[in-house]
Amino acid sequence: MAEAELHDGAVIDLTVDGTGPTLLLPVNPHPAEGSRADELRRWGMDPALGRTLIDGLRNDFRVVAFDYEGHVLANPKPDTLTPDNLASDLLAVADAVDAQQFAYYGYSWLALSGLQLALRTDRLSALVMGGFPPLHGPYAEMLRVTMTTYEMSIAARHKPASAEPTPTPATAPAGTADPTTDTSTDQPDWSTVEMTLNEAQTRQFVTLYQALQGFDDRTAQARLTCPRLCFAGSADIIQYDENWGDVRVDLAGPLVRHRAEIEAYGWTVQVLDGLDHTQAMQPASVLPVLRPWLTEALAACREGAPRRTA
């Protein structure tokens, strides 16, 4: 198994599968099992999400899978999870598999990580952002959510962190809470949250979003040159309750309200009707969008044709 050394000296395992143009895929390649798999199913998530994506892409691409979210939870970077270091880590993964040129697909905070990568390298052959808009991004709202998460972790410091955290409210950066379920709607009840991460795990995301507060995603568009696709579910809007500061994080809205503007900047935009944040990240939703677009975009690059921008 290949591995890469990241900015803080920690090592991350890489799984390389398939042939074709290289695609960096920050997902867990190992399916969850047992009670963990049952819990993910309760959330409407595929316990083998990463493996299913790999299997759906490996016939057309050389897929380099790495569980970056799992890595930062196991090896927190409370003071160093910055946009510069994120980009450095992703480039270290590409270097470890000798990929001079590569495509990247990330979802949610791993999507915004791809945007930061694209601004710091000319090695990207294509960029796909799922579940986070490339323009009018909710960076201020996410700082408020992550600050609340951090404060909750301080209040719960006497409780041990979970080895395998439950997923959070849909736009939170990583597993932070264990809600009950509202049986009338089958939706998580976030008023019942119980913190499962420690201070170092949650503070790293505060560090990330604090560093992004001055980021101008409109000005950044002129610096993007590779083919790029963004998508989100049309119902990807999270309204947090008072425990989370009554924050509203709208990830679908920018793609719906500003679609023409985003497309004018060179993005292909797809809105998945009726899907929320969790539903739109499942392989059954992602693969029909990702695979054909990447195939066409990378074929154009290999043939020396003008890069597809819309």
Q: Is residue 107 part of a domain?
A: yes
Locate 218 and state its tokens.
């409109």
The predicted pLDDT at position 302 comes to: 66
Asked if pLDDT for residue 165 goes beyond 60, the answer is no
Q: Three-class SS of residue 69?
A: helix
The predicted pLDDT at position 157 comes to: 77
Q: What is the distance between the alpha carbons of residues 239 and 222, in angstroms, rounded to a whole number?
A: 32
Q: Which stretch of DSSP H or E encloses residue 181? A: strand 180-182
Buried b / exposed e across 246-272, counting CB within 10 Å, b at 16+? ebebbbbbbbeebbeebeebbbbbbbb
Lowest mean pLDDT: which of 140-149, 164-173, 189-198?
164-173
Asked if pLDDT for residue 76 goes beyond 60, the answer is yes
Q: Which stretch of DSSP H or E encloses residue 230? A: strand 228-233
Contact 178, 125 (CB under 8 A): no
Q: Measure Cα distances from 52 to 46, 48, 49 in Å.
A: 8, 6, 5
Q: Is residue 79 part of a domain?
A: yes
pLDDT per position as a tens digit, 256-281? 999 999 999 999 999 999 999 999 99
The predicted pLDDT at position 228 comes to: 98
Q: What's the maximum distance between 2 C-alpha atoms anywhere in the chain?
A: 58
Q: Is residue 266 part of a domain?
A: yes
Q: How many CA atoms lie less than 13 Å away from 193 in the CB half-sphere?
A: 25
Q: Any idea what the Cα angle at residue 82 is, between residues 171 and 49, rounded to 5°?
A: 40
pLDDT per position as a tens digit, 43-54? 889 999 999 999
Q: Is residue 247 part of a domain?
A: yes
pLDDT per position as a tens digit, 283-309? 999 999 999 999 999 987 665 544 433
Q: Is residue 232 part of a domain?
A: yes
The predicted pLDDT at position 256 comes to: 98
Asked if pLDDT for residue 181 goes beyond 70, the answer is no
Asked if pLDDT for residue 175 goes beyond 80, the answer is no
Asked if pLDDT for residue 238 goes beyond 70, the answer is yes
Higher pLDDT, 37 or 189: 37
Q: Which domain holds residue 59?
A: 2-138+216-302
Structure confidence at residue 166 as a pLDDT band (50, 70, 90): very low
Q: Is residue 159 part of a domain?
A: no
Structure confidence at residue 160 as a pLDDT band (50, 70, 90): low
> What is the model's pTM?
0.90
Structure confidence at residue 42 as a pLDDT band (50, 70, 90): confident
State whether the Cα torsion 188-281-29-113 is positive or negative.
negative
CATH classification of the domain holding 72: 3.40.50.1820
pLDDT per position as a tens digit, 185-224? 444 444 445 667 899 999 999 999 999 999 999 999 999 9
Q: Is residue 162 part of a domain?
A: no
Q: Is residue 83 part of a domain?
A: yes
In terms of phi and psi (left: phi > 0; alpha: psi -120 to 50; beta: otherwise), the region of 27 is beta
Q: Three-class SS of residue 198?
A: coil
The count of domains in the chain is: 1
Residue 55: which residues within 8 A CB-CB, separation 6 or more?
A: none
The predicted pLDDT at position 252 comes to: 98
Higher pLDDT, 59 or 240: 59
Query: What are the backbone dihedrals phi and psi of residue 62, each rounded to the nearest 5 degrees, phi first?
Result: -85, 100
| Count of positions (residues) in the chain | 310
Query: What are the backbone dihedrals phi and psi of residue 182, each rounded to the nearest 5 degrees, phi first?
Result: -75, 105
Q: Three-class SS of residue 217?
A: helix
β 62-65/22-25 pair status: parallel
Structure confidence at residue 39 as a pLDDT band (50, 70, 90): confident
